[in-house]
Amino acid sequence: GNSVTQMEGPVTLSEEAFLTINCTYTATGYPSLFWYVQYPGEGLQLLLKATKADDKGSNKGFEATYRKETTSFHLEKGSVQVSDSAVYFCALIPYSGAGSYQLTFGKGTKLSVIP
């Protein structure tokens, strides 16, 4: 079946530090890959996505590259801010053909950024 594995948190960084959150996946075919973010007390929201191998998704200074050879989609940011403190979820949609829709999430990685 399809699955997503994320590094376990929590991750605590100082402001302006470099961030990497690892994500690997298992899926048949060519899934689309996503990072969602959940700020405290809120629902999840889409941060970035990539739909084919070697694509790079980017948003708000975050980046992730779809690596099919390593089945990975690691999230990176060069300089984190306190406002980036949140829970980050890696997710995938398998190649579905017609009529199927299922977003599979990892368990989430909590990031805390301290001033």
Partner 1 sequence: DAGVIQSPRHEVTEMGQEVTLRCKPISGHDYLFWYRQTMMRGLELLIYFNNNVPIDDSGMPEDRFSAKMPNASFSTLKIQPSEPRDSAVYFCASSTDTLGTGELFFGEGSRLTVL
CB of 27 to partner 1, least distance (A): 13
Query: Does the protein bind partner 1 through residue 34 (CB under 8 A)?
Result: yes
- What part of residues 69-108 is at the interface with partner 1 (CB under 8 A)? 89, 91, 93, 96, 98, 101-108
71 conformational bin, left if phi > 0, alpha if psi -120 to 50, beta if neither: left
Query: Does the protein bind partner 1 through residue 44 (CB under 8 A)?
Result: yes
Looking at 46, 53, 82, 114, which residue binds partner 1 (CB under 8 A)? 46
Contact predicate 13/113, CB 8 Å: yes
> Residues in contact with partner 1, total (CB under 8 A)?
23
Question: CA separation (Å) from 65 to 2, 9, 33, 82, 92?
Answer: 19, 21, 9, 24, 14
- Distance, CA of 115 to CA of 109 (rounded, Å): 20
Q: Which residues bind partner 1 (CB under 8 A)?
A: 32, 34, 41-46, 49, 51, 89, 91, 93, 96, 98, 101-108
